[in-house]
Amino acid sequence: MSIQAVRGFNDIFDTETTAKIQAVEQLLIQAAQAHGYSEVRLPFLEKAELYRRSIGETSDIVNKEMYTFSDKNDDLLCLRPEGTASCIRTAIEHNVLYQHSRKWYYLSPMFRRERPQKGRYRQFYQFGMEAIGIAEPFVDIEHLLLLHNIFKTLKIGSKVRLTLNYLGGADTRARYKQALQAYYHQHKNSFSPLDLQRLEENPLRILDSKDSSLQAINKNAPVMSNFYNDSEQKALEAITQQLNAHEIAYAHNPYLVRGLDYYTGCIYEWVAPELGAQATVCGGGRYDKLANQLGSQDIAATGFSIGMERLLELVETNIPPKITVTWISLSEESLKSSLQSCHKIRQACPGISVDTNYDISKIKNALKKANKRGYTYVIISGEDEINTGKYQLKDMINNEQYSLSLEEIITHLQHKV
């Protein structure tokens, strides 16, 4: 039997798809760099303990979705399910905040053993930005503005909706937790063992349940905003006022908690209903206590991650077709000189792809193949062309043919880029 890829791990090789991925990735990287963020490259493997302490033991990710295994020295390791915890681990481990705050971005695969379906994979890519060591809520607003602009540039502004909430501090949460426990105790007969554990340890987790019977119960659960103190109330208002000032539409969902335990303060999701069951394109928020959970002093931080597969599903392909050229050699001499000639074109015409042929072709067959593979131009070189120094440049789109020197071909192609 032939070997197939692991379920939920995708092969991507279609040139149109990879061109679209590259164009969108480029746009995100440019946006991050334009805002003063630099790339952080994080390991794929981390100690499992990192996620247990940060994302939380009662979260779905840690409970059911991690690829965890024992290394030969009995270290419990894990394929990273997300990037935020690694960013904070890195910042602490290398003491980078000693000099100044850090603004990092990453674009990398993450791994979660969820049930695969459209928009949900076991290996998926996230583009994330994290502002570490910055307490001012201004940076949260900047992230929301930046995301709004990214979605607008990608022409999906009308497809995504922003939902946000504000998680109160320790006192507020303690009072809210009690109210939630009192409410859920009335319904606990229908709870699974994991939800019973959540009820005792972390009832906020139940608010994020994907279980439909729990979702119905959640509709009447108490809301955290009723437990806010004055400064928390004002903090939420300050954020919503800024969003109004920038004309960014949002909905306040008082039940939004997000699936990871490390959040504090403003949290949000961008959802595209047209994606169906897996509609959250981006999630993020503030996580000022995460460093503390990892054994350091508090580090104020905030950030977000975009799920690349879901984002790409929303973006229409309107990438201009790349100019692709293939060199067809009809004689031994031409084949020998083609490597050098193709190299000259590549150097003089950045952005154009020039595909070398490695054997002597028959013109009819070669043109048929070139047509099938969708090249924009074909350069034909045989004995005559070598003698006269004039090659045949065939425009495959307009079906025109010119007899040109190599320099003239280069000038012609340069005008097309």
Contact between 84 and ligand HAM by CB under 6 A: the answer reads: yes
Site for ligand HAM in 259-278 (CB under 6 A): 259-260
Residue 128 vs 203, nearer CB to ligand HAM? 128
Q: Which is nearer to ligand HAM, 125 or 377 (CB)?
A: 125
CB of 34 to ligand HAM, least distance (A): 19
User: In the complex with ligand HAM, which residue's Cβ is closer, 86 or 334?
Assistant: 86
Whole-number Å distance between alpha carbons of 185 and 163: 28
Query: Would you call 313 exposed, middle or buried from its count of C-beta atoms within 10 A (0-12, 13-18, 19+)?
Result: middle
State yes or no: residue 124 binds ligand HAM (CB under 6 A): yes
Binders of ligand HAM among residues 277 to 296 (CB under 6 A) are 280-285, 287
For residues 43 to 82, the per-residue mask of contacts with ligand HAM, x marking binding by CB under 6 A and - elsewhere, is ---------------------------------------x
Instruction: Report if residue 121 touches ligand HAM, rule: CB under 6 A.
Output: yes
Of 198 and 394, nearer to ligand HAM (C-beta) is 198
Q: Looking at residues 298 to 337 of the shown chain, list those that interact with ligand HAM (rule: CB under 6 A).
A: 303-305, 307, 309-310
Site for ligand HAM in 222-261 (CB under 6 A): 259-260
Q: What angle do CA 268, 293, 266 make, to 5 degrees?
A: 20
Q: Which is nearer to ligand HAM, 163 or 356 (CB)?
A: 163
Residue range at the interface with ligand HAM (CB under 6 A); choices 112-120, 168-176, 313-321, 389-397:
112-120
130 touches ligand HAM (CB under 6 A): yes
CB of 313 to ligand HAM, least distance (A): 10
Does 128 contact ligand HAM by CB under 6 A? yes
Q: How far is the CB of 290 from ligand HAM (least distance, A)?
A: 9
Interface with ligand HAM, residue 198, by CB under 6 A: no
Binding residues vs ligand HAM (CB under 6 A)? 82-84, 112, 114, 119-121, 124, 126, 128, 130, 259-260, 280-285, 287, 303-305, 307, 309-310
